[in-house]
Amino acid sequence: MNITTTKPFPVFVVLYNTVSEPFFNKVTILGVGLIGASCALALKSRGLCKTILGFGRKETNLIQAKEQGIIDEYSLEAADSCKNADLVILSAPAGSFKKLLYSVRDALKKNSLVTDVGSVKGPLVPALEAMMPEGVHYIGSHPIAGSDSSGIANASADLFYGTRCLVTPTSRSDEKAIRKIISLWESFGSNVEIMDPMMHDEIYAAASHLPHLLAYALVNTVADTNAAYLQYAGSGFKDTTRIALSSPELWRDIVLLNRENLVALIESLECNLEMVASLIKNADAEGLEREFSKAQLFRSTIK
């Protein structure tokens, strides 16, 4: 068997020539969780901004973030927090982006930049882009960092170092703004790739969203069978379901925003499981070994 791409793969992976390191006077982080706080720490540690203001729903979290030097100030009022910001980073759960942006758009400064760190891009990017006031530029980002851990306790200035970051401009995007956002992530140590927002969602439905759904489904299936069996889980079960520890709120939003790709993939997976079940019922040893060998080979190609 050759490992080949069975469908044309239209993603274009181009690294733009980036400008020199970006410098921002004021940065506002809308949502100070693992990713938002890590952005703040990465900006500060690299001297890329003067002040960072955090906005969030929980004041205790914001107080902690300020005490730990992650942010300089905080506000419980989103629009207020964005005043005079040169860069606004949307790092709340993706389902809140539209409402959040709607509430702050009138406060956005001319020539400022807005980006987000959401795991879904397809329907969101054009929607957010369309909401921008004249002269304010939105460019979508998706840093492939973070894990099942969450919150500022796990934040780090080097969370993005050596990881992939997708930047998803559209045909309407301002080129200077694209360059600045690429430069920002490269300053954090990310390997930036440019990707079409719709293609992004198709790829990440398979590479990330489906595995999350499956980890949740596997835990619930075993728990519904007999919760006591979970105590016999070895390293295989633990690895396979580690991402079931991820934030339910975050993943609820991601799943709903990437609904069509995911429903199609769940159907494909069910077809595959049906086929495997029928191989098992027919005691088709050769067929099973062929399926498992195929998966082993493909899995071994992942670096």
Task: Give the residue from 88, 209, 98, 93 showing the smallest Cα distance to 150.
Answer: 93
Query: In this chain, which of 132, 144, 194, 198 binds a copy of itself, going by CB under 8 A?
Result: 144
- 127 binding a copy of itself? (CB under 8 A): no
**Shortest separation between residue 29's beta carbon and a copy of itself, angstroms:** 23
Distance CA 212, CA 222 (A): 16
Residue-wise DSSP of 202-251: HHHIIIIIHHHHHHHHHHHHHHHHHGGGGGG--HHHHHHHGGGGS-HHHH
Determine the interface stretch with a copy of itself among 2-10, 22-30, 103-111, 128-136 (rule: CB under 8 A). 2-10
Out of 58, 99, 176, 242, point to the residue binding a copy of itself (CB under 8 A). Answer: 242
Q: Which of 17, 20, 171, 226 binds a copy of itself (CB under 8 A)?
A: 226
Give the alpha-carbon dihedral of 37, 177, 174, 250, to 10 degrees. Answer: -10
Residues, the chain: 303
CB of 255 to a copy of itself, least distance (A): 6
Using the rule CB under 8 A, is 118 a contact of a copy of itself? no
- By CB under 8 A, residue 132 contacts a copy of itself: no
Is 7 an interacting residue with respect to a copy of itself (CB under 8 A)? Answer: yes
Binding to a copy of itself by residue 241, rule CB under 8 A? Answer: yes
Residue 146 beta carbon to a copy of itself: minimum distance, rounded to whole angstroms: 9
Residue 215 binds a copy of itself (CB under 8 A): yes
Q: What is the 3-state secondary structure (H, E, C) of 92-136?
A: CCHHHHHHHHHHHHHHCCCCCEEEECCCCCCCHHHHHHHCCCCCC
Nearer Cβ to a copy of itself, position 148 or 174?
148
Min separation Cβ 223 and a copy of itself, Å: 4
